[in-house]
Amino acid sequence: MLDTQSLYRTLYSNMGAQNWWPAESKMEVILGAILVQNTNWRNAAYALQNLKKETAFDPECILTLELEQLQTIIKSSGFYKNKAMTILTVLNWLKRFEFDFQEIQLYYESQLRNALLKIKGIGSETADVLLVYVFEEVAFIPDSYTRRIYAKLGYKHTESYEKLKQHVQLPTFFTNKDANEFHALLDNFGKNYFSSKNEKKYTFLDKYFKI
């Protein structure tokens, strides 16, 4: 069974840098992280495309939209009523700090994750994604693909996000870049391995998996 440090090195040596998150700005990351909740990236990307066309991802512009307008724009992402409310709630929270991410970090310090979780519509996975890809902190993101990979490696406590997060510690040397790459590698490996198991380039972990 690979430990977390060895898993990261094995994935990186076989797959290389993933250059995530697929976005041109932190605001786009935030919106994408909300829109991809409970759906696939294709649906979220289509909603992002519509939102970019209408607002250029300008948070002040988004906040001027009527709720029904925003719901229509992001409808392809599913659960669009709840997601529209979450987007407006998050943007209003950010506006309190004039959309200054560094100021938010300085204000909340070690309590930033708890602050994010208090925002309605932001769960553990989205909070951790924002910590890594927006606030440039170090966090483990045990999403569904990651839990499946860890389960096949023989780890316990993979039945839920919170349980695996409690039992897996990232190496102490991990930087934000490492946390970023590790999540991206796990996610992309999972997408390819579990959907295209016969492709040789994604079977390099087979010898470690408990079948």
Q: Where are the domains of the chain?
A: 4-19+140-208, 26-133
Q: What is the model's pLDDT at position 110?
A: 96
10-residue mean pLDDT profile of the chain (211 residues): values are 94 95 95 97 96 98 98 98 98 98 97 98 98 98 97 96 96 96 96 77 90 65
**Taking the mean position of all CA atoms in its chain, how far away is CA 206?**
26
Q: What is the model's pLDDT at position 195?
A: 83
pTM reported for the whole predicted model: 0.94
CATH of 26-133, one of 3.65.10.10, 1.10.340.30, 1.20.1050.10, 1.10.760.10: 1.10.340.30
